[in-house]
A and B are shown apart, each in its own frame.
Chain A
């Protein structure tokens, strides 16, 4: 499944149902740029999970709302509820473990 880019307007609706991983990232962050191809593979291997990204430069309100203080930060939602949070680059295995898939 393709990766969806979230804004403060569509965020809540996008995480409201099912399993959703949200990656808070920015173009100027090396580990974030490495996270991106790993997320693409995760999305391909787990079509049941929707994979979303938030550019903290463009969406500072969302970063502030979730207290994102280091990037990459990944938030894991299940039916709209925050189930897990991981700070720093996450491998494919760790993504799967954090999302319970």
Chain B
């Protein structure tokens, strides 16, 4: 995608969609990058009773309505896993699979993951633990890899690894519940419910990300991304909204956050444009 968007928004929940709609109402272009919406906590909510105007809606109904509204408002939506955000020199890049998109500003509305890393996962990151099939899969062609699939798109990622010649051992919540990554200097295997499987790499696909993993060095506070009253993070041009910036983890609050983040991002883009002249 060659186009540079005014706002690239990571996440299609209430915060992300609200930021995107705010941008569209101010004449800005907006792209939402999102993994499967059905992986979100909201999607699984049976009733959301405190969101004005839509009594007793299910989480899934709300999300479908939000995304439909975004599409009708000219927001572009891209399916994929955002892996990294970085300043490319005047524009921000967001890597998605084997490609990347560019934005003048970025809004992190990626929700919160409650998953704790597996034993050995952090220690062996970069030594055989990977979150990116398209990045690292080719390094393991012809070798045995374990895939822990905890997100809707995980089977596709595993299929990709198979297609390039990795010998894939696939695990999901139906097969095992407790995992540990094994190895000293490098990954030697995966332990799943107490059974050890030899592997040269362990690919882990979760629906959420640790809040600071997209942008190493971004200021965090108690597991949330730190923002000011305008939802600006410590990184220029990067804003955050919704659960990722803190409680209450409610749709109404996320929509409000997204609105503020969207307005701030629009102002940032306008200042950039004014500075360029």
A→B interface (CB under 8 Å): 26, 28-35, 37-38, 41, 56-57, 63, 67-71, 73, 87-89, 91-94
Known: A33-B95, A87-B126. A68 touches B100 (CB 8 A): no
Q: Is the CB of A87 within 8 A of B125?
A: yes
What distance in Å separates the Cβ of A29 from its nearest Cβ neighbour in chain B? 4
Q: Is the CB of B86 within 8 A of A28?
A: no
What residues on B are CB-neighbors of A70 within 8 Å? 125-126, 130, 132, 135-136, 139
Q: Is the CB of B217 within 8 A of A28?
A: no
Q: Is the CB of A69 within 8 A of B216?
A: no
Complex interface residues of chain B between 160 and 203 (CB less than 8 A to chain A)? 186-187, 201
Judged by DSSP, the binding face of B is mixed
Q: Which of B83, B138, B187 contacts A31 (CB 8 A)?
A: B83
Q: Which of A38, A57, A63, A68 contacts B86 (CB 8 A)?
A: A38
Q: B112-142 toward A: CB 8 Å interface, digit per residue (1/0)?
A: 0000000000000111101010111011000
What distance in Å separates the Cβ of A60 from its nearest Cβ neighbour in chain B? 8
Complex interface residues of chain B between 33 and 86 (CB less than 8 A to chain A)? 83-84, 86
CA distance A69 to B132 in the complex (A): 12
Q: Is the CB of A56 within 8 A of B138?
A: yes
Q: Which of B89, B95, B99, B201 contacts A69 (CB 8 A)?
A: B201
Total cross-chain contacts (CB, 8 A) = 90
What distance in Å separates the Cβ of B173 from its nearest Cβ neighbour in chain A? 25
Check: B96 CB closer than 8 A to any chain A CB.
Answer: yes
What distance in Å separates the Cβ of B201 from its nearest Cβ neighbour in chain A? 7
Apart from A28-B138, A29-B135, A91-B217, 7 more pairs, CB < 8 Å: A29-B136, A30-B83, A30-B84, A30-B96, A33-B100, A34-B84, A67-B186
B→A interface (CB under 8 Å): 83-84, 86-89, 93, 95-100, 125-128, 130, 132, 134-136, 138-139, 186-187, 201, 216-217
Q: Which of A32, A69, A93 contacts B126 (CB 8 A)?
A: A69
Known: A33-B99, A38-B86, A88-B216. A63 touches B126 (CB 8 A): no
What distance in Å separates the Cβ of A81 from its nearest Cβ neighbour in chain B? 20
CA distance A37 to B86 in the complex (A): 10
Q: Is the CB of B88 within 8 A of A69?
A: no
Residue of A nearest to B96 (CB): A30
What residues on B are CB-neighbors of A69 within 8 Å? 126-128, 130, 136, 139, 186-187, 201
What distance in Å separates the Cβ of B219 from its nearest Cβ neighbour in chain A? 14
What distance in Å separates the Cβ of A36 from its nearest Cβ neighbour in chain B? 9
Q: Is the CB of B186 within 8 A of A30?
A: no
Residue of A nearest to B214 (CB): A89
Interchain residue pairs with CB less than 8 A apart (30): A26-B135, A28-B134, A28-B135, A28-B138, A29-B136, A30-B83, A30-B95, A30-B97, A30-B98, A30-B134, A31-B100, A31-B135, A32-B135, A34-B93, A37-B88, A38-B88, A38-B89, A41-B89, A57-B138, A63-B139, A69-B139, A70-B125, A70-B130, A71-B135, A71-B139, A88-B84, A88-B216, A91-B87, A93-B217, A94-B216
